[in-house]
A = this chain, B = another copy of it.
Amino acid sequence: MEEFRQKVEREGKNLGNGILKVDSFINHQVDPSLMDACGLEFARRFANVGATKILTAEISGIAPALMAGRHMNLPVVYARKSKPITMPDQVYLTVAPSHTKGRLVELIVSPEYLAGGERVLIIDDFLASGATIIGLVRLAQTAGAKVVGVGALIEKSFEGGRAMLKYLNVPIESLVCITSMDNGKIVFGDCK
């Protein structure tokens, strides 16, 4: 994913406090061709995990999850952060701290679309502290589903998320790895 790394390097902005602004191609404006290439790469890396469903969190996870789902021919479920009126009363709900919002957010999935026995691939835009992804893991496990992999567009390894997810014992794949954002810089590296 050298193409994607170059895009992050060229257009990503370090706003301080570990906040990486990638609003020009992921978080506000989206580059569909690039997201599609990322989806294809996820499909390649997770070809052998036997996933039956992709799980992500609204809002920014939708684009990469959708494109991964397209290439893997899998349905995508995005956890809602507020309960729409179309959702049944009984739901799976957890809370996770949001780094960019500075507060706890709810993650809600309807039991209609996440069932026991499913093999769930989690895809999100960022792997940072791992808090959102661990929230998605809890939802999957509550539903009786098995998490079989975790993929992120961008990993900020200095926030320690990968270590937090190690207990899952599943493949963790990030397409771009950032090892430091100290002093206004963005340092790329290897997150393995």
Contacts and interface: CB of A to CB of B under 8 A. Distances in A.
A24 B113 contact: yes
A23 B73 contact: no
Interface of A: 15, 19, 21, 23-24, 27-33, 35-36, 58-59, 62-63, 66-67, 69-70, 73-78, 80, 84-87, 100-102, 109-110, 112-113
A72 to B, nearest CB: 9
Contacts of A112: 23-24, 29
B76 A23 contact: no
14 contacts: A19-B85, A28-B84, A29-B112, A30-B69, A30-B75, A30-B76, A32-B66, A32-B67, A32-B73, A33-B70, A59-B78, A62-B62, A66-B66, A84-B100
List the number of copies, as a whole number: 2
Nearest to A36: B70
A81 to B, nearest CB: 9
A113 B76 contact: no
Given A28-B113, A59-B80, 10 more contacts: A23-B86, A28-B84, A29-B75, A29-B77, A30-B75, A31-B75, A32-B69, A32-B75, A66-B67, A85-B101
Contacts of A86: 15, 19, 21, 23, 27-28, 100
Nearest to A21: B86
A30 B74 CA distance: 9
Contacts of A87: 23, 28
A115 B23 CA distance: 15
Contacts of A29: 75-77, 112-113
A119 B102 CA distance: 36
Contacts of A19: 85-86
A66 B70 CA distance: 12
A117 to B, nearest CB: 16
